[in-house]
Chain A
Amino acid sequence: MLNEIANTIIKSRHAFSLSEQDCRNLSFLKVGGNPWAEGRINYLVFTEGSTAPVLFVKMIRERAKGVALQREYELLQQLASHNAVAPFLPLPAVLLSPGDHPILVQGVCRGRRLISSLSKSPFLFHQQSRIARNFHQASRFLKVLNGNIQQTLRIEDFHRLFTEPLLSFERTLMGKNDPVMEAYLEEVGKQVVTCLFLTPLHGDYSATNIFLEPQGDLKIIDWETGSSNGLPLCDLFYFMTKYIHNLKILPKNRWRRVETAYFGKTRISGLIEETVLDYCTSMKIPVHAARLILPFHFLLKAKTKFSMRSREMTAPWYSLFRSALKHERDLCF
């Protein structure tokens, strides 16, 4: 397969500013990806003389599932057409098809991942300023993305994009629809359309997918779970949740830690509050909308995890959703 990919890259080398000499002996370093059949597999491509990779290749293991790459490519093209957003994207991005197996070939991010800045100290005290800095970096891009690309959110859009899929998810998960859930979604819909808008969503906006380039620029990778119809704040909440979950601090129960951060009075709660308020002020979004979106976002994530993996991955997100509804008054912002 990789020999076919190499030949296809050579044929399209002009799109990546590679010379014929560069392409003489391409080698592929497999990096990460995810382990499931419908999952993706990533390669960094090295030329003969390069000390760093020159291209990033992404493919889905099963040819038939390659449509996900097509979607990602289209989203990247759509975002790249906005001058303010384009510098944050891994461009150029070209969709190729060696042996009818779609691959997405992108520019390489040269910086370091934000995840590498996670400290291994078990004490929050040593990490507080770093967490604040990283929350700020994450929010910086989202303000550009959500500030530049907005569409009006109508109630029928909300029902089509969110209410119906969420009710269907609940039916599959629980075997029936809970009237309380239906009422909740109805209420959220009514309130959200008055103060929010549709905006592109990354869908997996975590510290592993953010590169900090040497000049301080950010590059955001892995748009495969992205969508052009998302709600603001969802990516920000996901980033903070995953970040807190991945910290190597006490208590060791990571999901419990997330819960106490959002609904407690820890130092991280203060950082969350600061970040959310700053985002809301910049985007001119009322804080009550953020309070509304947080549990809703947990529910959306539970649904996504359910469709991607299994009930086991769904459980912690669903439990966060229930907990967020229960402890609404204790929310840190």
Chain B
Amino acid sequence: MIALFCPKCKSQLNPAGHDLSCPACKRTWSKKCGIISFIDDSYSYGSITKDQWEEIFQDISDKSNEEIQSYFLAHKMKGRWPYIQSFRTNKADGTFYLPVTAKDKVLDIGCGPGSLSVPLAKRAGEVYAVDATLARLRFLELRAKNEGVSNIRTFHASALAMPFQGSSFDHVLMNGVFEYMGEWDQSRPPEVVQKGVLKNIHGLLKPEGHLFMAIENRYGFDFIYRKRDHSKLYLTSLMPRHLADLVTLALRRRPYRTYTYSYRGYLDLFAKEGFKDITIYYAWPSYQDPRFIIPSRNRKAFTYFLENFLRSSDRTMYLFYTAAFGLGMEGHFFSHFIITAKKGLERGADAP
């Protein structure tokens, strides 16, 4: 277990019974439902309410994972699908592109119900799972226990104020989380918040440690004609940011803060924050269900994917990507990315 630090004043925390206390700012961080908590429990991601969760936990706490799946299938409540699908471990298939070893420490930011944490824990030394929704962490702990996984440490914390300091992790994962960072700090522009998160991750990674991110392409073909952006509106990711802001303010009464970037945008963003060996993979049909993962650097693999798989499954996409490929622009329009990057030099540091 690595040392924990106060998210407020950054001092190392001391154990105080079941809780943790900060010797500098005298704060005490207590456990909620057995999980150490650094934020209040008011936030809950997803459509299942806190009251519903209490009922659910009463019903599933002594059930096996298969019974939990059956439970969610039988109880037709809004927002249940992510928990059913979290047992489909192919969501973590992108992590096989990382060199994870049995000694590694992995930080999963926004771990949700454990779609990545649980499979990773079976390959890594320790997984530190952070989420801002307590119920999701409780769900993760339950399913991990059922699978006999004991090397996951859960933390109820915000991604913007995590209880970690220094180069502690071999891998940091962000699966469908980075785009929401702007919503967690309304006082600064979203891209500034996102850059801050990347900088923090860079600091938390050990030398040569890896960042793994799964995220949408701002200009992805899906978002041009058939899927909504994170704003829950069509086409907003394609608009200039200030226009998207006006549209979401007008139609959803909230500013546009869920920024995604283009292929080139991610490369620049990562490079500016000190990452190297940035590799983008295309995930098809989505990073949540990556049945195909295509290395963007190998264009022959992309052609093979087009001709042998996409052609027979989705004719419209096939024609579009074939045209984009002909112009050398497939990366600019592929909808879902998995990005891996290695920790490079600190920003501003000189190369040896």
Contact = CB atoms under 8 A, between A and B. Distances in A.
Interface of A: 1-4, 27-37, 39, 41, 44, 46, 50-53, 61-63, 99, 112, 115-116, 310-312
B89 A61 contact: yes
B289 interface: yes
Contact of A46 (B69, B73, B301, B308): B301
Interface string B134-160: 000000000000010000000000000
Interface stretch (B9-17, B199-207, B292-300): B292-300
Contacts of A61: 89, 92-93, 119
Interface of B: 66, 69-70, 73, 87-90, 92-93, 96-101, 119, 122-123, 147, 289-295, 297-298, 300-301, 303-305, 308-309, 312
B93 A63 contact: no
B298 A27 contact: yes
A35 B304 contact: no
Nearest to B302: A29
A29 B93 contact: no
B290 A30 contact: yes
B341 to A, nearest CB: 15
A112 B96 CA distance: 27
20 contacts: A1-B97, A1-B99, A1-B100, A2-B96, A2-B97, A27-B295, A29-B292, A29-B304, A30-B290, A31-B292, A37-B119, A37-B147, A50-B300, A51-B300, A51-B303, A53-B304, A61-B93, A62-B119, A62-B122, A115-B312
A99 B101 contact: yes
B309 A31 contact: yes
A211 to B, nearest CB: 11
B150 to A, nearest CB: 15
Q: Which 4 A-B pairs have the closest CB atoms?
A: A30-B293, A35-B90, A35-B88, A27-B298
- Is chain A's binding surface mostly helix, strand, loop or mixed? mixed
Interface centre among A3, A51, A61 (most CB of B within 10 A): A61
Contacts of A99: 101
Given A1-B98, A37-B87, A310-B70, 10 more contacts: A1-B123, A3-B99, A29-B293, A29-B294, A30-B292, A36-B87, A36-B88, A41-B93, A115-B312, A310-B66
A53 to B, nearest CB: 7
Contacts of A53: 301, 304
Contacts of A311: 70
Nearest to A52: B304
Contacts, number: 87
Nearest to A53: B304
Nearest to B88: A35
A280 B278 CA distance: 58
Contacts of A32: 291-292
B89 A35 contact: yes
A148 B304 CA distance: 36
A36 B89 contact: yes
Contacts of B305: 29
Nearest to B303: A51
Nearest to B89: A37
Interface centre among B87, B90, B97, B123 (most CB of A within 10 A): B90
A29 B304 CA distance: 9
Contacts of B289: 35
A191 B66 CA distance: 38
A61 B89 CA distance: 9
Nearest to A117: B312
Given A29-B292, A30-B290, A30-B293, A46 B300 contact: yes
Contacts of A3: 99
A44 B293 CA distance: 10
B144 to A, nearest CB: 12
Nearest to B311: A116
B295 A29 contact: yes
A39 B300 contact: no
A62 B96 CA distance: 11
Contacts of A34: 90
Contact of B90 (A29, A33, A310): A33
A40 to B, nearest CB: 10
A116 B312 contact: yes
A115 B312 CA distance: 9
A31 B217 CA distance: 21
Contacts of A50: 300
A30 B119 CA distance: 17
A88 to B, nearest CB: 20
A3 B98 CA distance: 8
A9 B291 CA distance: 23
A30 B93 contact: yes
A41 B290 CA distance: 11
A44 B96 contact: no
Nearest to A309: B66
B89 A44 contact: no
B180 to A, nearest CB: 25
A1 B96 contact: yes
Contacts of B66: 310
Nearest to A62: B122
A35 B100 CA distance: 20
B305 to A, nearest CB: 6
A63 B304 CA distance: 29
A99 B103 CA distance: 12
A230 B73 CA distance: 34
A213 to B, nearest CB: 14
Contacts of A51: 300, 303-304
A18 B250 CA distance: 60
Nearest to A30: B293
Contacts of B73: 312
Contacts of B147: 37
Contacts of A310: 66, 69-70
Nearest to A38: B89
Nearest to A64: B122
